Amino acid sequence: MFLRSVWARQAAPLRRQVAPLARRCVTTNAATSHAEDIPQEDDKPFTVRLSDESFETYELDPPSYTLDVTKKELKQMYYDMVAIRRLELASDRLYKEKKIRGFCHLSTGQEAVAVGIEGAITRDDKLITAYRCHGYTLMRGGTVKSIIGELLGRRGGIAYGKGGSMHMFAPNFFGGNGIVGAQVPVGAGLAFAQHYNDEKNVSIILYGDGAANQGQVFEAFNMAKLWKLPALFGCENNKYGMGTSAARSSALTEYYKRGQYIPGLKVNGMDVLAVKAAVKHAREYSVAGNGPLILEYVTYRYGGHSMSDPGTTYRSREEIQRMRSTNDPIAGLKQKMLDWQVVTEDELKALDKSARTYVDEEVAEAEQMPFPENTERVLYEDIYVRGSEPRWVRGCTVNDTYYY
């Protein structure tokens, strides 16, 4: 049924002030949303009313606070979020077992953004993001096996074991990029291509609050607005960069207003239905020829910036636990479905079991995949799309030539 299938000289310790939690989060209490006239059929649409706190806008009319969904769609969203979290928990374990090496950025807690975006766009729309990309890879058509295989450096990984955690790709998914903010102008280029070819699609261009201060981000804003590109810039504001909060690094933390001349939309990124409604509204706006928008997804990562960051030196454990217990995106959707009698407790348990079994089986298979061959040839493979290679490429020296 369900196929789919992150120095100073020693002196008196500095105390960093932590902004009150209420100023940094948007509630996802299931009681603030409701649904009526829910049909018996799984594939028959019905209307849900979103929380009044779901959106804030800048120079833009807000999205509708009602959204048409089906029982089947809600179940799939729940399944996908559970699968992404299980995938990230498996990645965490494998990293701690030293089976995954190098960089590894997890998105535990941010599942609603990836799932909500995918629910509002088409397979012909393009998406590009930064290094916290595992969930997006899965939603864009990757499998858990190919993602874990890539993390483990195996030949069957989605980038043949050569990209690792930060460099994963799928059809119309352009990564997975390691340089902070560098994907944003590339995403503007994707949108330019769509505009040039007169395609009725958009490019989803994602970056974090830490990358929002990069100069190239503002250059991309300017180009997109100047040429009215179908670019949906999206800041995943999870409140913290590597070791610092947004308030300590950004003069303006309302990231959806950063475009000045580009309209903006802030959405509760812990509510998958609000994310879908926001992106659906933004996509319709941009495809109609109105140009770019800037979205801000207010979300939260439970873990550190990466696996090398414990994530507790610049925020309290109590804050993390409070967010887990009051704002969790999976628990929020689960409660909505129960309140609306979309599913029973037993059906939810079956969904949980199905998603976890799928992930666990795929992880086990990925661990058995072979590593790339220990030959020089491997270094030259996959530089080009297979079948489009030139006759030869030069190696590290003038006399070092590799022939295809």
Q: What is the pLDDT of residues 68-105, one digit of tens each?
A: 999 999 999 999 999 999 999 999 999 999 999 999 99
295 three-class SS: strand
Tokens of 174: 């352009």
360 and 380 assigned to the same domain: no
Token digits for 41?
Answer: 């059929």
Q: Is residue 167 part of a domain?
A: yes
Share of the chain above pLDDT 90, in %: 80
Q: Are residues 147 and 108 in the same domain?
A: yes
Domain enclosing residue 293, as ranges: 38-372
Are 389 and 367 found together in one domain? no
In a shared domain, residues 168 and 256: yes
140 and 248 together in one domain: yes
Quick: pLDDT tens for 252-286: 999 999 999 999 999 999 999 999 999 999 999 99
On whether the CB atoms of residues 198 and 185 are closer than 8 A, the answer is no
Amino acid at 226: L
What is the rounded average pLDDT of the residues 300-312? 91
Q: Print burial letters for 173-201: b (CB count within 10 Å at least 16), e (below 16).
A: bbbbbbebbbbbbbbbbbbbebbeeebeb
Sheet strands side by side (includes 55-58): 55-58, 264-268, 293-298, 231-237, 203-208, 126-128
Number of structural domains in the chain: 2
Residue 285 shares a structural domain with residue 380: no
Sheet with 46-49, side-by-side order of all strands = 34-35, 46-49, 66-69
Residues 261 and 366 in one domain: yes
Is residue 23 in a domain? no
The C-alpha angle with vertex 130 and arms to 276 and 258, in degrees rounded to 5, equals 70
Residue 17 lies in a domain: no
In this structure, the number of other CB atoms found within 10 A of the CB of residue 393 comes to 14
Do 323 and 397 lie in one domain? The reply is no
357 is written with which tokens? Answer: 């079994």
Distance between CA atoms of 237 and 254, rounded to whole angstroms? Answer: 10
Picking from 151, 153, 155, the residue whose alpha carbon sits closest to that of residue 133 is: 151
Beta bridge partners of 48: 35, 67
Residues 81 and 44 in one domain: yes
Same domain? 276 vs 390:
no
Q: How far apart are CA 142 and CA 147, in angstroms?
A: 7
Query: 179 and 303: one domain?
Result: yes
pLDDT in tens, 21-78: 333 344 445 556 888 789 999 999 999 999 999 999 999 999 999 999 999 999 999 9
